[in-house]
Amino acid sequence: MTRFDVAIVGGGLAGCSAALHARLKGASVILLERGRCGGQASGVNYGGVRQQGRHPAELPLACRSRQIWGRLAELVGTDCEFTATGHLKLARNDADMQSLLAYRDIARDYGIDLEILSVADLQCRYPYLGDGYSGASLCAADGQANPRLAAPAFARKARELGVTVREHCELEHAEKVADGFQLTIKGEAEQLTAGRLINTAGAWGARVARWFGDEVDEQVMAPNMCVTEPVAPLIGPNLGICGGSIYLRQTKNGSVVFGAGLGVADADRLWARPLAHVSMEAARAAIAMVPQLANVLVVRTWTGIEGRMPDGLPVLGESRKAQGLFHAFGFSGHGFQLGPAVGAVLAELCLDGTSATPIDGLSLGRFGLARALASAPSMLPKQ
Amino acid sequence: MIIGAGPAGISAAKTLAAAGERPVVIDENVYPGGQIFRRPPAAFARNETQLYGFDASRARRLKSTFEAIAPSIEYRAETLVWSVEDRRLHVSTAGILKCMPFSRILLATGAMDRVIPINGWTAPGVFSLGAAQIALKAQATFIGKRVVFIGTGPLLYLVAYQYAKAGADVAAVLDSSKPFSKITALPALLADISNFSRGLFYVSQLRLRGVKIQTAIAPVEIVAGDRGVSSIRYEQSGQQGQSDCDAVAIGYGLRSETQLADLLGLSFQFDRRQRQWLPVTDGAGRTSVPHVYIAGDGASVRGSEVAEWEGELAALSLLEDMGRGSQKRASVLRRRIDSLSPFRRALDEHVFPFPHHFAEAIRDETIVCRCEGITAGQIRETVATTGEADINRIKAFSRLGMGRCQGRVCGAAACELIAATARTDISATGRLRGQAPLKPIPLSILAGDRR
């Protein structure tokens, strides 16, 4: 029976980063991925590297991740096309402006600088933007990267350093044993054991958690993405809008990537599709945001399966039921930026027993009370 | 719902109309006829004989068939299918989007050229064989004054002949195969004596006109300067050859257009002879998805006559599944199609084999994906550094096939290149996933903005 210090289920960005960071700490690591590393949410998302606009519970993680994004080349041998283009969040009205101002103060507490821009500033600095905005908030340190490259790059580096990365390898079941975890792989007789288990199974994370009695509601979501043919450099920062209806960026090669709304997904069949009417709505929103895009060709739409938590925040932390089991899933459509730090924190939690990065608001336990209340009637005796 | 108004689509429409159905026929072109019977605008007065030669009578028949059924079908010309979801087809006509529900769909999407890139193929004056033929049929023009035809397949000689006959200066026909050299293929070729003799006729006509025909060649490069193409260099049994020209038409046979089949969720299998993934069928037009049928070159490249029979056969299968088929007619069609398969196999395997080894010889600096400017060297490097051989992974890492052609032009050659670099079987490279829109569509049209 082969034994590892750490076993990781799920080769998304968080899982691959956890593998790399655990290995850098000297652990023996195996990463199990049912398909290909970065094949689901981590590889098919929008590619925003954004701290601005996040819930405070995520901000320490986002700040740490931003540091890792900045030295990616050093860490994994490629920058994954990360560029600090800035992230501009547009206000639709005065109320939005007020919320941007309030958020600036929150962000400042975490060391994130946001610049508030007036309508005149917008017109002067970003003349390609459509009309009707009341202003914006700019986070110059934010930017964008190529999601197709990131998880595979972490996986490659991890493998180089000695991590056993097994793709097309499905974890059928895992259970807690005296000295760790026993893992059964689909179609294989031999079992693996590991001292620690990290669950980064994305949209399937809650299923893994359930093996150990960690009950949590996780839904699936499929962000509807579109990309155009390359056009001359036009759009500087990664663009978002209060209310989040559309997000849009131009890549280094000139393509414009944008997303709005959701496609359809089926986690059991590993199947997800963008929807025509959602892409059409997205096209309208994209033209409203940058009118010069009207005659640009859309060449592709796509989506992938992401996990979504009821409160839109990920689950990150140790299991309440199984010591040595660490969860990080349900990133609710905004896990790409967080991925690198999530991996680092997971490695620290499982090998050092603690992390300097606060993740208090992200524990699985936060759903406990709500769940208990929701399931209370069923505990009453039948009348 | 029938997608495509070539021989397969029209004959399917005729069959359904005869059974009292009212099929909707979606066609990207202005006129029905598909690629093979593509028509020029009405102002360009050229008759069928001038346009289609030996196929003139078939062209006339198909045209009159179409005219006869026109009142019983709904024909949507210049209509692009850009997506399909379950049983809703999303189309675009003259910049207006429409969603069309259907209960059954018959795909007759045809095929397009298969190109192997060489240095210079992106220069002005280089066209695919199919495009060269479109220029002639639909625009009554030539791609250049002095044209070289290079590649292999029946279309190579046909288009060269059509150009020569229409008065173009055909500088050379450069065939990578050595057709008609395999005696073993002869019996199979004689199975379709009329097509075989046509081939011989084209060759002899080209020779009579003094056109240089070189076989068993390997392309070296297309030489092009500021003013476009000036010559093409090739190799033939170790000797260097060169043909001066101002335009080149290039094509190594055809590959099926399967993007819509993919979006509809059909099962595919790798076809060794055609070296591509093709939808699985029951031989009578049924696919792995109950309400989806398929016929013609989009199912497997077998030419326009087989396509016509397959269209009818698939329509009969569809009718049968609705409880009203004619088995007698279906078995006649199946026999006819089967009787031609030895001919097609001989063409694919012996007469005009696809020279996949050329992909291996593509120079590192040659652009393979012209939309994104990805060279053979970059693809080889991506394969080497990532250890990947799956075309979708290579696409994700290198941008190969991500541009406007969506991999339709570069995909086939890229798979060969990847397989050769990774030293794996071509089937292991997989197939490019279909994604909406099936062809690029302006944002303003997608947005329903009619400016």
- Grade residue B49 by pLDDT with cuts at 50, 70 and 90: confident
Record: contact A295-B393, CB cut-off 8 A: no
Domain co-membership, A294 together with A352: no
Residue A299 is nearest to which of B90, B440, B451, comparing CB atoms? B440
pLDDT score, position A382: 41
Asked whether residue A360 carries a pLDDT value surpassing 70, the answer given is: yes
Residue A71 resides in a domain: no
Domain that includes residue A369, residue range = 2-48+148-217+310-375
Residue A255 resides in a domain: yes
How many Cβ pairs closer than 8 A exist between chain A and B?
92
pLDDT score, position A371: 61
Residue A148 is nearest to which of B82, B396, B440, comparing CB atoms? B396
Q: Which residues does A contribute to its contact with B (CB < 8 Å)?
A: 36, 43, 148-149, 152, 156, 227-230, 253, 255, 273-277, 279-280, 283-284, 286-287, 293-302
Exposure pattern of B151-160 as b/e (b: 16+ CB <10 Å)?
A: bbbbbbbbbb
| Tokens linked to A370 | 């709500």
Domain co-membership, A227 together with A297: yes
pTM > 0.90: yes
CATH number of the CATH domain containing A339: 3.50.50.60
- Domain boundary at A303, A331, A351, which? A303
Residue A53 resides in a domain: no
Residue A152 resides in a domain: yes
Residue A238 resides in a domain: yes
- Condensed to tens digits (0 to 9), the pLDDT of residues A238-274 reads 999 999 889 999 999 999 999 999 999 999 999 999 9
Record: contact B386-A156, CB cut-off 8 A: yes
Length of chain B counted residue by residue: 451
Domain co-membership, A99 together with A238: no
Domain co-membership, A295 together with A237: yes
Nearest CA in chain B to A81: B397
Classify residue B230 as left (phi > 0), alpha (psi -120 to 50) or beta.
Answer: alpha
DSSP symbols for A26-38: T--EEEE-SS-TT
Record: contact B403-A300, CB cut-off 8 A: no
Record: contact A300-B435, CB cut-off 8 A: yes
A302, A278, A249: which is closest to A40 by C-alpha? Answer: A302
Record: contact A148-B397, CB cut-off 8 A: yes
- Higher-confidence residue of B294 and B51: namely B294
| Tokens linked to B319 | 């009718």
Instruction: Looking at the complex, report in whole angstroms how far the Cα of residue B76 sits from the nearest Cα belonging to chain A.
Output: 20
Domain co-membership, A43 together with A111: no
Residue A297 is nearest to which of B390, B393, B442, comparing CB atoms? B442
How far apart are the C-alpha atoms of A347 and A21, rounded to whole Å? 6
Record: contact A297-B404, CB cut-off 8 A: yes
Instruction: Looking at the complex, report in whole angstroms how far the Cα of residue B87 sits from the nearest Cα belonging to chain A.
Output: 13
pLDDT score, position B355: 95
- Domain boundary at A108, A140, A172, which? A140
Angle among Cα B290, B295, B301 to the nearest 5 degrees reads: 130
The 3-state secondary structure of chain B reads CEECCCHHHHHHHHHHHHCCCCCEEECCCCCCCCCCCCCCCCCCCCCHHHHHHHHHHHHHHHHHHHHHHHHHCEEECCEEEEEEECCEEEEEECCEEEEEECCCEEECCCEEECCCCCECCCCCCEEEHHHHHHHHHHHCCCCCCEEEEEEECHHHHHHHHHHHHCCCEEEEEEECCCCCCCHHHHHHHHCCHHHHHHHHHHHHHHHHCCCEEECCEEEEEEEEECCEEEEEEEEECCEEEEEECCEEEEEECEEECCHHHHHCCCCEEEECCCCEEEECCCCCCECCCCCEEECHHHCCCCCHHHHHHHHHHHHHHHHHHCCCCCHHHHHHHHHHHHHHHHHHHHHHHHHCCCCCHHHHHCCCCCEEECCCCEEHHHHHHHHHHHCCCCHHHHHHHHCCCCCCCCCCCCHHHHHHHHHHHHCCCHHHHCCCCCCCCCCCEEHHHHCCCCC
How far apart are the C-alpha atoms of B16 and B28, rounded to whole Å? 21
| Tokens linked to B47 | 């008759």
CATH number of the CATH domain containing A266: 3.30.9.10
Asked whether residue A54 carries a pLDDT value surpassing 80, the answer given is: yes
Residue A382 resides in a domain: no
Domain co-membership, A294 together with A348: no
- Domain boundary at A278, A303, A328, which? A303
Share of chain A above pLDDT 70, in %: 96
DSSP assigned state of A129: S
Domain co-membership, A41 together with A177: yes
B372, B406, B378: which is closest to B394 by C-alpha? Answer: B378
Instruction: Looking at the complex, report in whole angstroms how far the Cα of residue B55 sits from the nearest Cα belonging to chain A.
Output: 36
Distances from the Cα of A241 to the Cα of A133, B263, B409, angstroms:
9, 32, 38
The mean of the pLDDT values for chain B is 93
Backbone angles phi, psi at A8, to 5 degrees: -125, 130
Residue A323 resides in a domain: yes
Tell me, yes or no, if B404 comes closer than 8 A to chain A by beta carbon.
Answer: yes
- Condensed to tens digits (0 to 9), the pLDDT of residues B175-199 reads 999 886 767 778 888 778 888 888 8
Residue A264 resides in a domain: yes
pLDDT score, position B449: 58
pLDDT score, position A35: 94
Total domains in the fold of chain A: 3
Domain co-membership, A321 together with A352: yes
Residues of B in contact with A294 (CB under 8 A): 442-444, 447, 449, 451
- Condensed to tens digits (0 to 9), the pLDDT of residues B409-450 reads 999 999 999 999 999 999 999 999 999 999 999 999 999 854
Record: contact A229-B444, CB cut-off 8 A: no
Domain co-membership, A227 together with A158: no
Chain A interface test: which of B90, B382, B446, B451 (most A C-beta within 10 Å) = B446
- Higher-confidence residue of B232 and B52: namely B232
Record: contact B435-A301, CB cut-off 8 A: yes
pLDDT score, position B179: 81
> Rounded to the nearest 10 degrees, what angle do helices A13-24 and A339-352 cross at?
40
Instruction: Looking at the complex, report in whole angstroms how far the Cα of residue A17 sits from the nearest Cα belonging to chain B.
Output: 17
- Grade residue A375 by pLDDT with cuts at 50, 70 and 90: low
Domain co-membership, A291 together with A318: no
> Rounded to the nearest 10 degrees, what angle do helices A147-160 and A339-352 cross at?
30
Whether A308 and A332 have beta carbons less than 8 Å apart is answered as: yes
- Condensed to tens digits (0 to 9), the pLDDT of residues B258-276 reads 999 999 999 999 999 999 9
Tell me, yes or no, if B100 comes closer than 8 A to chain A by beta carbon.
Answer: no
Domain co-membership, A164 together with A188: yes
DSSP assigned state of A12: S
Return the bridge partners of B255, or none. Answer: B112
What 3-state DSSP class applies to A235? coil
Domain co-membership, A298 together with A323: no
Integer-rounded Cα Rg, in Å, for chain A is 21
Nearest CA in chain B to A152: B386
The pLDDT of B383-397, averaged and rounded, is 94
